[in-house]
Structure formats: structure tokens, C-alpha cells
């Protein structure tokens, strides 16, 4: 005789399910709690386990994992999770925990019996069945490319570092974390996906309505302030849109793993695989590549973990995005007892900074980490960020045309950023440079037109 185990803390549901199975000739075990159900399962090894999802003390996910991890339970049973929760994330999480099927309450006896009578006695729901396939052809975005065929522009949507800081004291410059939009040569390129990407997504949805959108998102690194806004990016929730995320593999896991994990339960109700848009995550292997007609060059930054900066060459001018970096020379200035060793260390550090200078040389717009003033930096050496004095000095040496101070410290209010901007402009003048300096501010848009200049 076939044996089934029913686990549910609702006595009415438990009774209905047990009677349904008994009427069909099943021997039925029952439990009103997950942990007692697991104990019964291990003792009697039923062919089928039907378990509620939402139970105190020991929930359905735990039941699935406990059974699947028990190597003495062989052959493994078929597990059906039942729940009153109709969220796609609950279905997906159940499958990932080890369930074979998921049924929504109230359970219809005919539906349950049909499921149990399927050929072979088992039907497995794969992730692609509940998350949607990404193998379909990308949508046609011809209209979109024509619509953004304007002079290259840069627009700031998030300028803050570390953590979002909304409030009265940050109204002028904004409190969202890193996100910059670039429209150039028929391409829409987004630099980092901090909380600022939410408002960008809302703007795009309003602007293009039902027309397909194609977006390339370049991630400098996967620290949370640079990726935390992506789950709230509205275009990713439309099947008409094409979203490509590019970046370099992190210190421990790949780009896709990091982006996916922040959308897993219990952190977020919708998994990345459930997003209906045409979504592709690409680990970049080369330091130069193209997005349409835009040439992109990457360079590694001096920041904890794997972090890069990007330089974009457009028909209207060049843009460099370096949101997190600490100059090597400044970091290595700590005294070293051996003078020869000290010389070698500083010489090496200067060479590394020269590479950065070459990377941004003659750039039209540079968006650079300027998180601290000179006094603050002394207590933040080794944190991976630049002081405003060095941001100006590097830009002056590289003959940059316009510098945006970026990655504002969460403790800096508008008045503090005003003072840092003023000091940066004074420094540029002291150097005898024509460098233009502004503190990056949400909503500011810069039009690139090198030919006209």
C-alpha cells in the first residue's frame, strides 16, 4: 500500500487532505507540526509528503531541507508544498528548498489526486518553469535608439557613497547612492545601480511607455551602495525591455551570484530569475569593449575587492567614471624605516597613479571619488577613497576639462559639500589650471559637444 505523510497545523486542512488520500487507498500518516512530521517521515519513509508552508516552529522550507539532506532516506520521497500564499517567490523558494510541486490553498481534491496520478508518480518543476525563460530573442529596440539619438549627455541620479541619506540637510545635492545615466550614439548606458537607479527607471518608464527599452548597466564593483537599487529598477519588470548588466568578477563569487543573492528570500520578495524583462548578466573579460558605437575602457581602481573605473568615448566627448579609488601615493606615504625600501615603495605607488592619470588624460568629464577633505582623510587612510585635494591634483595633471566631485560622504550635508566644492575650485586656480569643478548633484545634466567647443 502506498504511504503518504500530511503535515499541517490547520486541523481542518489536515482532515480534508487525509480523507482524500484514504478514500483513494493510501495509508496516511499525519502531523500537526513540521518537526514531528520530519521525525515520522524518517521513521516510516512515506513515498509522498504533503506539507504546509507557513507553520510555526518548523516551516515547510525546513521540512524540505531536512528531508533532502537526510541521506538515510532512500529513495527520496516526492514532496508537495501547500500554502495560502500566492506569491511567485514562495513557489520558487519551495522548489529551491527541495519541493517537487507547489499547490495553492484551498486544495481541490481532484487537483491533488491528478498530481499524484501523473505518469511516473513524480513531476519536477524546474527553475525555468517558475522563473520564466531568458532564452527568447531580445525585443526590437529600433524605436528606442532613434528616440535617444540626441547629443551625448550625462545625468546624475545618485551621487552619495556608502548609504543613502535622505533628509533636509541633503536636499541640494541629493541623498541617493551612485547612479549616472549616459545617453550617447544611440545607446543608454547606466553607470552603477545604487538607489538612484530607481528614479531613473521611473523616468524611463514614463518617457517610453510601452515602447521597448534597451539599457546597458556597467557595474564598477559590487559593494552594496553600487548595486542596491537594481531590484527597484522598473524597466527590468517589463518583458518588452532588454537589460544587460556588465561587470567584473568579484573577490569571492561572480557578478551574477552577487546580484542574484541580494534578491533572494528573505531579502527581497522577487527573485532575479523571476524578472520578466530580457535580462543578461555578463562577466567582462577584456579591458576594452564596445557598447554599440561607444568605446569603453576599464581600469582597476585602488579600492577593497575588485573595483574598476570606466572611460567612455562618445561622438561628443569622453567621460570617466571613478566612483571609488584611493591614490597609491597618498596611501603609501606612511613612513618606512628602510630608506631604500621607502624609495621603492613610493616609486611604485607613483607609477600606479601615473596609470590613473593616463587613463583620464584629456577627458572632457571626469566623475571622481572625492569623499573626504584633507583633514578627514588622515583618519580614513586605507578605506579606499580619495580626498578632494588629490582629486583636483590628478585632474589638473591629466588636463581634464571638467571634474565632478562624487561619492559624497553620508555625514556630509549640503553646506559641507558646498565648502568642498569651493576649496576644490580654489585649488584648481592655485595650480593655474582652467579645470572646471562642480560637486555632483542629482538632476544635473551635462551635454557633451566637443566639436562645438
The CATH code of the domain that includes 99 is: 3.40.50.2300
Q: What element of type H or E holds 130?
A: helix 127-131
**Do residue 88 and residue 176 come from a single domain?**
no
Please report whether residue 274 resides in a domain.
yes
Q: Which of 108, 131, 154 is the last residue of a domain?
A: 131
Q: Which of 78, 99, 131 is the last residue of a domain?
A: 131
pLDDT score of 304: 87
**Do residue 91 and residue 203 come from a single domain?**
no
pLDDT score of 341: 56
Pairing of strands 101-104, 153-158: unpaired
Please report whether residue 102 resides in a domain.
yes
Q: What is the CA radius of gyration of the chain?
A: 28
Residues of the chain with pLDDT under 50: 119-135, 335-337, 453
C-alpha cell at 170: 541633503
Please report whether residue 137 resides in a domain.
no
**Do residue 239 and residue 319 come from a single domain?**
yes
Q: Judge if pTM exceeds 0.85.
A: no
For Cα atoms 116, 118, 123, give the angle at the middle one, nearest 5 degrees: 85
Please report whether residue 251 resides in a domain.
yes
**Do residue 70 and residue 196 come from a single domain?**
no
Q: Which of 85, 106, 131 is the last residue of a domain?
A: 131
User: Residue 162's closest CA among 308, 324, 322, 376?
Assistant: 324
SS3 352: helix
Q: What CATH number is given to the structural domain containing 358?
A: 3.60.15.10
pLDDT score of 251: 52
- DSSP for residue 369: E
Q: Which residue segment(s) compose the domain that 311 sits in?
A: 142-447
Domains of the chain: total: 2
**Do residue 24 and residue 165 come from a single domain?**
no
**Do residue 120 and residue 147 come from a single domain?**
no
**Do residue 152 and residue 109 come from a single domain?**
no
Please report whether residue 212 resides in a domain.
yes
For Cα atoms 30, 34, 35, give the angle at the middle one, nearest 5 degrees: 105
**Do residue 387 and residue 423 come from a single domain?**
yes
DSSP H helical ranges for 318-432: 328-331, 339-360, 374-377, 388-397, 414-430
C-alpha cell at 256: 551574477
Amino acid at each position: 500500500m502506498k504511504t503518504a505523510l500530511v503535515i499541517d497545523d490547520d486541523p481542518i486542512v489536515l482532515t480534508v487532505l487525509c480523507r482524500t488520500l484514504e478514500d483513494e487507498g493510501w495509508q496516511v500518516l499525519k502531523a500537526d507540526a513540521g518537526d514531528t512530521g520530519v521525525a515520522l517521515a524518517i521513521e516510516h519513509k512515506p513515498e509522498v509528503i504533503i506539507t504546509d508552508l507557513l507553520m510555526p516552529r518548523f516551516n515547510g522550507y525546513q521540512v524540505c531541507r531536512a528531508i533532502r539532506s537526510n541521506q538515510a532516506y532512500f529513495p527520496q520521497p516526492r514532496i508537495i508544498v501547500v500554502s495560502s500564499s500566492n506569491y511567485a517567490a514562495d513557489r520558487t523558494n519551495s522548489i529551491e528548498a527541495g519541493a517537487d510541486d507547489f499547490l495553492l490553498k484551498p486544495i481541490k481534491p481532484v487537483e491533488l489526486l491528478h498530481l499524484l496520478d501523473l505518469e511516473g508518480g513524480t513531476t519536477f518543476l524546474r527553475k525555468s518553469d517558475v522563473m520564466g525563460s531568458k532564452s527568447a530573442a531580445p525585443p526590437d529596440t529600433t524605436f528606442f535608439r532613434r528616440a535617444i539619438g540626441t547629443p551625448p549627455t550625462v545625468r546624475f541620479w545618485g551621487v552619495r557613497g556608502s548609504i543613502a541619506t535622505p533628509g533636509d540637510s541633503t536636499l541640494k545635492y541629493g541623498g541617493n547612492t551612485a547612479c549616472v545615466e549616459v545617453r550617447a550614439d544611440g545607446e543608454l548606458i547606466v553607470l552603477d545601480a545604487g538607489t538612484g537607479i530607481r528614479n531613473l527607471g521611473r523616468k524611463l518608464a514614463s518617457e517610453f511607455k510601452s515602447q521597448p527599452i534597451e539599457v546597458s548597466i556597467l557595474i564598477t564593483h559590487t559593494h552594496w551602495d553600487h548595486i542596491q537599487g537594481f531590484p527597484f529598477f522598473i524597466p527590468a519588470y517589463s518583458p518588452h525591455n532588454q537589460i544587460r548588466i556588465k561587470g567584473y568578477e568579484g573577490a569571492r563569487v561572480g557578478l551574477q551570484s552577487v546580484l542574484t543573492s541580494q534578491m533572494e528570500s528573505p531579502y527581497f520578495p522577487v527573485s532575479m530569475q523571476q524578472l520578466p524583462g530580457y535580462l543578461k548578466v555578463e562577466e567582462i573579460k577584456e579591458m576594452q569593449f564596445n557598447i554599440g558605437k561607444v568605446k569603453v575602457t576599464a581600469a582597476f581602481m585602488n579600492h577593497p575587492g575588485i573595483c574598476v573605473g570606466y572611460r567612455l568615448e562618445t561622438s561628443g566627448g569622453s567621460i570617466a567614471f571613478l566612483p571609488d579609488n584611493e591614490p597609491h601615493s597618498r596611501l603609501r606615504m606612511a613612513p618606512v624605516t628602510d630608506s631604500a625600501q621607502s624609495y621603492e615603495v613610493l616609486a611604485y605607488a607613483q607609477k600606479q597613479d601615473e596609470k590613473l592619470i593616463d587613463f583620464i588624460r584629456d577627458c572632457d568629464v571626469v566623475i571622481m571619488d572625492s569623499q573626504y577633505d584633507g583633514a578627514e582623510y588622515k583618519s580614513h587612510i586605507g578605506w579606499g577613497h580619495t580626498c578632494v585635494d588629490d582629486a583636483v591634483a590628478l585632474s589638473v595633471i591629466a588636463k581634464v576639462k571638467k571634474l565632478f566631485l562624487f561619492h559624497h560622504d553620508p555625514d556630509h550635508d549640503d553646506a559641507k559639500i558646498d565648502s568642498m566644492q569651493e576649496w576644490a575650485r580654489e585649488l584648481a586656480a592655485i595650480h593655474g589650471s582652467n579645470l572646471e569643478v562642480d560637486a555632483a548633484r542629482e538632476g544635473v545634466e551635462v551635454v557633451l559637444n566637443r566639436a562645438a567647443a
